[in-house]
Amino acid sequence: MDIMPNHKKLFGTLGVVLLLWFLVGYILYPALKTVEVSLTDHGTISLIHYSRFFTSDASIAPLTNSIVLGLLTVIVCGLIGTALAFFVHYFDFPGKNIVDKLLLMPLILPGIVIVFAFVQLYGESGLVTKSIEWLFGLESKPYSFSGLKGILFVHAYTQYVYFYISVSIAIRHIDYSVIESARNLGAAKTKIFTSVILPFITPALISSAIITFISGIGSFTAPSIIGGGYRVLTTQILLSKANNYMEVAATQVVILTGISLFLFSVFRLYEKKAVFTSSVKGVSIQVVTIKNPLIRFLMLSTAGILIVTILLPVFAIILLSFVESETLMMNIFPQEFTCENYLDIFTSARKFAPFLNSIVMALLASLLGLVIAIPSSYLIVKTQIKLKWLIEILVMLPWAMPASAIAINIINAYNTPNIFSFNSVLVGTFILLPLGYFVRSIPLMVKTTSISFQNLNETYIEASKSLGASRFQTFTRIVLPMISPGLVAGFLLVFVRSIGEYTLSVFLYTPSNKPVSIAVVNGIFEYNIGLAMAYGALLILVTSALSFLISKFSTALSR
Amino acid sequence: MGAVVLRDIEKLYGDTIACTDINLSINEGEFFTFLGPSGCGKTTILRLIAGFVQPKKGTIHLGRRDITNLEAEKRQVGMVFQNYALFPFMTVAGNIEYGLKIQKKSKKERAERVEKYTEMVGLIGFEHRNISELSGGEQQRVALARSLAIEPKVLLLDEPLSNLDARLRDRMRSELKSLQKKLGITTIFVTHDQTEALTMSDRVAVFEKGRCIQVGSPEEIYAHPINSFVARFIGDTNLFAADIKNGTASLSDMVAISLETQASGRFISIRPQDIVFSTAQDDRPNVFPAKVDTIQFDGSSVEYSVKVHDISFRLTILNTSTLCHNITVGEDVHIAIAEKSIKVLDS
Ligand SMILES: Nc1ncnc2c1ncn2[C@@H]1O[C@H](COP(=O)(O)OP(=O)(O)OP(=O)(O)O)[C@@H](O)[C@H]1O
Ligand SMILES: [Mg+2]
């Protein structure tokens, strides 16, 4: 782009200014506003909330709990995720590909649905719990599924994915010729592991540990539903907000975000420095085929157990969605099945409303995401403008913000009129939730759309021009088809992440604007378990179908 | 009307001069090659002709028309890119048809042309393949067919053969050349490979550091390089800085070569195949006693490096010569340099 007419430059500049105005207004400004609120006491600047926080045992305890939870989550998920990655990518066994795909499932299932599935399986009157009691004739429950243990159990299921994905990638990048030459030099197996394999996967382990820790201390759904007496920062934030201690909530948010942001910066620095890929021309890892029939049998059983464990919550939800809630109260195991719950949702406007509402809000969030992510990733990938770094930081910032923090930031920023909201109060309005969903997902969306633009080589555009196509024809016939798989994938991804979102929803919903995740929780607390599970099953149906589409578009993208 | 005339073209990238002072006139139907080392501005000039970049000054004419400020898409200039730039989400036929759809050709005509050009590049049967299912050579043919299908006035080729392996490169070289002859299309071919330039071109322009140094037929350029750069770049040569006066070029205190002319200059260039082995009895001028330093056998020929006092010469002898077999390293021999094969160069 050599000579650009002046009016086009003007439009370009205007576009960049608008984009920055939006990003600052809805990502940076709310965060700063929260900092301001935390530093205010009865209208004057004060550090009192911080000094109170750090001097009271009652507020230090949740902080310690959050950190302990984060650390334990890293340990548990690190062990599980790494073991699974090696199991799937280092050995050869039948059904390997299915296991690989299934292991990614927790990524797309709405957290709130998983938590309730776990409660229904392993809780006090859960199916698995009762089965064990019945099988062994126990008088009392064999274990307690609440507090730290329960949260960890759920985290183990939902958060091993980061470790699993990044270690899997690292394993595939291990240069097998290095292993071969180590063998050649007579290295023992353990030596090979510590001196060859470990260095290859260490960067993956460290970065997943950081990301898992951030998501562990930011976790809200599991602690709020099954945490019981184990109070963590995120749940305390909701409590402060519910009691209208906004300044306390803001202080807690600043502390939580501070920790995340610090670790996230470490992560980014580390990511830039660490060499994640090996020599390009290396021989890629060869899967080990086990010949010993006993070990083979053990491995197959492990694979089978894995599949069952992963699918069990999904089956539980589907099963319970066909149960009449009253009969469930009376029997240990469900006996009678009915479609009543689904009929209820699809015939009663009141019960359908949350589901429809979530679809609409998720659509809005995804659309908004597209509108912001397309120019952002274009500017980041394809241009050299001066403010590129700022755009990049702004769109990546929400990675480091727990959902509860995003919610509080939005409330603080938009409970009074300001220029970013065209002088209106947004708190209490419908738009608040889609906005929150959007902020939460914008980093992921920009990442996805960026890949599209990276694929779009300038020479395609020149080739099209040299074949006589105008700017417009080039855009519609070449550029659009090339970037659309990434855009569609990004769009669907935000939709999937938003439709069953719980944390932001709890903080930001209004009675007239109830999302389906809240309806699930209400159903459970009203002992209408069948209805709650039917909502859950519908959510799973929608998210899995869309994820299937996403994977289709992603393969188109990598072609 | 496929003649291309560049007049006083200059292009800068920031402060870097990509090319300057370019005056070229490429005839209709000619196979014209831009030859030069990496970074000398070949691609830049091609992109100027294609209209992807604008010159700082100068004009470009295509036929009688001044196209300096015309948009790329209106120039009717076909281009084959170094990385081919085939549209990955279209089939082979889809790629070839693309420009025709843009031209709003009827369905029937498109089908005919696609067939014609698929056949021309030897890709019948590949029409419905995806681009990712093609080898490098096949992709190259698709790229060629795609630019030919719009029947452009000029065809621009930016190092189209550089991604192919040696054998395929040889074959594509002759195929490309005969295709060009058949179609009679004005073609500008960019390469840094002198063999490609010499074997395919009607005329060659040699570039160095953004400037065009010499234009001529391959024979002219080979036989009469204008300076030491061209002499070295085109073909192999023995190049020496020399003190030249009175028909003698002194390479050092010990070695002086007599010249056919009284011309003055600062360098002399002697092609390795213009030096032969001789005997002490030879009484022509420029016969020197020498010692064989190295011998390198490469199949069709043998290359010797010999020392005359403190000066090294390289000579190439065709393998058919009986001489080849009985010369060994360290042997004392005589070499003879024909006076008329010595070129005197100014710079
Ligand atoms: N877009 C650009 N921005 C800045 N400088 C450029 C750009 N394109 C080319 N140049 C510079 O202009 C000079 C000529 O580049 P050009 O690509 O024309 O060389 P070339 O002869 O095609 O080389 P090669 O054989 O490596 O392809 C080089 O110094 C190059 O660095
Ligand atoms: Mg080039």
For residue B29 and ligand 1, the question of a CB distance below 6 A is answered with no
| C-beta of residue B270 within 8 angstroms of C-beta of residue B237 | yes
For residue B191 and ligand 1, the question of a CB distance below 6 A is answered with no
Has residue A422 been placed in a domain? yes
What phi and psi, each to the nearest 5 degrees, are found at residue A314? Answer: -65, -45
Kindly give the pairing relationship between strand A91-92 and strand A44-45: unpaired
Asked if residue A300 and residue A341 are part of one domain, the reply reads no
Write down the residue that tokens 């390293």 correspond to: B329
Our separate counts of H helices and E strands in chain B read 8, 21
A6, with CB counted inside 10 A (0-12, 13-18, 19+), is: exposed
Residues from chain A that touch B72, judged by Cβ atoms under 8 A, are 462, 465-466
**Which protein residue's CA is at the shortest distance from atom 29 of ligand 1?**
B39
Cα dihedral across residues A362, A367, A370, A371: positive or negative: negative
The Cα-based distances of B129 to A221, B88, B125, B132, B134 in angstroms read 50, 11, 9, 8, 8
Q: Calculate Rg over the CA atoms of chain A.
A: 25
Asked if residue B261 and residue B282 are part of one domain, the reply reads yes
Domain boundary among B232, B247, B266: B232
**Ligand 1 atom closest to Cα of B47?**
18
Domain boundary among B232, B248, B275: B232
Distance B18 CA to ligand 1 centre (A): 6
Q: What is the per-residue pLDDT for A484?
A: 86
Q: List helix spans (H) across B40-135.
A: 42-50, 92-102, 107-120
> Angle at which helices A529-558 and A349-382 pack, to 10 degrees?
20
Two tokens, residue A241? 């907000």
For residue B43 and ligand 1, the question of a CB distance below 6 A is answered with yes
Lowest mean pLDDT: which of A171-185, A525-539, B48-62, B173-187?
A171-185
Asked if residue B309 and residue B183 are part of one domain, the reply reads no
Asked if residue A339 and residue A317 are part of one domain, the reply reads no
Asked if residue B256 and residue B149 are part of one domain, the reply reads no
What phi and psi, each to the nearest 5 degrees, are found at residue A385? Answer: -65, 155
For residue B193 and ligand 1, the question of a CB distance below 6 A is answered with no
Distance B14 CA to ligand 1 centre (A): 12
Ranges under pLDDT 50 in chain A? 1-3, 277-281, 559
Has residue A258 been placed in a domain? no
Asked if residue A354 and residue A296 are part of one domain, the reply reads no
Nearest to B72 among A3, A466, A481 (CB): A466
* Structural domain of B62: 4-232
Write down the residue that tokens 């005509």 correspond to: B109
Q: In a mutational test of the pocket of ligand 1, which residue from B13, B17, B233 has the highest number of ligand atoms less than 8 Å from its CB?
A: B13
Spatial separation of the C-alpha atoms in residues A457 and B46, rounded to whole Å = 19
Has residue A555 been placed in a domain? yes
Has residue A451 been placed in a domain? yes
- With H, G, I as helix, E, B as strand and everything else as coil, classify residue B5: strand
- Please judge whether A465 and B147 are an interchain contact, meaning their C-beta atoms are less than 8 angstroms apart: no
Q: What is the per-residue pLDDT for A360?
A: 95
Q: What is the per-residue pLDDT for A280?
A: 44
For residue B20 and ligand 1, the question of a CB distance below 6 A is answered with no
| Residues within 8 A of A (CB atoms), B 305-324 only | none
The Cα-based distances of B266 to B251, B337, B341 in angstroms read 10, 19, 17
Q: What is the CATH number of the domain that holds A481?
A: 1.10.3720.10
Has residue A101 been placed in a domain? yes
Residue B98 distance to chain A (closest CA, Å): 8
Asked if residue B127 and residue B272 are part of one domain, the reply reads no
Q: What is the per-residue pLDDT for A281?
A: 44
- Please judge whether B51 and A2 are an interchain contact, meaning their C-beta atoms are less than 8 angstroms apart: no
Two tokens, residue A5? 């007419």
For residue B42 and ligand 1, the question of a CB distance below 6 A is answered with yes
Asked if residue A349 and residue A316 are part of one domain, the reply reads no
Spatial separation of the C-alpha atoms in residues A190 and B220, rounded to whole Å = 69
Asked if residue A121 and residue A67 are part of one domain, the reply reads yes
Asked if residue B318 and residue B169 are part of one domain, the reply reads no
Residues from chain B that touch A478, judged by Cβ atoms under 8 A, are 87
**Ligand 1 atom closest to Cα of B192?**
25
Asked if residue B77 and residue B42 are part of one domain, the reply reads yes
Q: What is the CATH number of the domain that holds B159?
A: 3.40.50.300
Comparing CA positions, the residue from B31, B332, B342, B78 lying closest to residue B186 is B31
Has residue A195 been placed in a domain? yes
Q: Calculate Rg over the CA atoms of chain B.
A: 25
Q: Tell me the β-bridge partners of B203.
A: B32
The Cα-based distances of B202 to B32, B158, B206, B214, B215 in angstroms read 6, 17, 13, 14, 11
| C-beta of residue A515 within 8 angstroms of C-beta of residue A501 | yes
DSSP annotation of B165 reads -
The enclosing H or E element of A448 equals helix A432-455
Spatial separation of the C-alpha atoms in residues B154 and B29, rounded to whole Å = 9
Q: What is the CATH number of the domain that holds B249?
A: 2.40.50.140
The answer, yes or no, to whether ipTM is higher than 0.85 is no
Our separate counts of H helices and E strands in chain A read 28, 4
| C-beta of residue B142 within 8 angstroms of C-beta of residue B121 | yes
**pLDDT > 80? residue B82:** yes
Buried b / exposed e across A491-511, counting CB within 10 Å, b at 16+?
bbbbbbbbbbbbbbbbbbbee
Q: What is the per-residue pLDDT for A558?
A: 56
Spatial separation of the C-alpha atoms in residues A28 and A395, rounded to whole Å = 10
Asked if residue A225 and residue A113 are part of one domain, the reply reads yes
pLDDT, mean over chain B: 88
Asked if residue B205 and residue B111 are part of one domain, the reply reads yes
What phi and psi, each to the nearest 5 degrees, are found at residue B333? Answer: -135, 180
| C-beta of residue A403 within 8 angstroms of C-beta of residue A215 | no
Asked if residue B69 and residue B209 are part of one domain, the reply reads yes
- Please judge whether B73 and A3 are an interchain contact, meaning their C-beta atoms are less than 8 angstroms apart: no
How confident is residue B322, by pLDDT bands cut at 50, 70 and 90?
low
| C-beta of residue B18 within 8 angstroms of C-beta of residue B41 | yes
Asked if residue B257 and residue B206 are part of one domain, the reply reads no
The Cα-based distances of A6 to A10, A15, A356, A382, B11 in angstroms read 6, 14, 46, 20, 21
Asked if residue A469 and residue A407 are part of one domain, the reply reads yes
Two tokens, residue B250? 């002194």
Has residue A45 been placed in a domain? no
Spatial separation of the C-alpha atoms in residues A73 and A411, rounded to whole Å = 29
Comparing CA positions, the residue from A418, A73, A33 lying closest to residue A254 is A33
Asked if residue B23 and residue B68 are part of one domain, the reply reads yes
- Please judge whether A482 and B89 are an interchain contact, meaning their C-beta atoms are less than 8 angstroms apart: yes
Cα dihedral across residues B222, B31, B60, B70: positive or negative: negative
What phi and psi, each to the nearest 5 degrees, are found at residue B26? Answer: -105, 125
Number of domains in chain A: 2
Asked if residue A179 and residue A154 are part of one domain, the reply reads yes
Give the model confidence (pLDDT) of B259-316 as tens digits.
Answer: 888 877 888 889 888 888 888 787 788 888 889 998 888 878 888 899 888 888 999 8
User: Looking at chain B, how many residues does it have?
Assistant: 347
The enclosing H or E element of B103 equals none
Number of domains in chain B: 2
Domain boundary among A321, A354, A387: A321
Asked if residue A438 and residue A304 are part of one domain, the reply reads no
Has residue A388 been placed in a domain? yes
B16, with CB counted inside 10 A (0-12, 13-18, 19+), is: exposed
DSSP annotation of A286 reads P
* Structural domain of A552: 16-27+332-559
Spatial separation of the C-alpha atoms in residues B90 and B128, rounded to whole Å = 9
Asked if residue B285 and residue B226 are part of one domain, the reply reads no
Asked if residue B267 and residue B224 are part of one domain, the reply reads no
Asked if residue A111 and residue A185 are part of one domain, the reply reads yes
Asked if residue A193 and residue A119 are part of one domain, the reply reads yes
Residues from chain A that touch B74, judged by Cβ atoms under 8 A, are 468
Asked if residue A465 and residue A402 are part of one domain, the reply reads yes
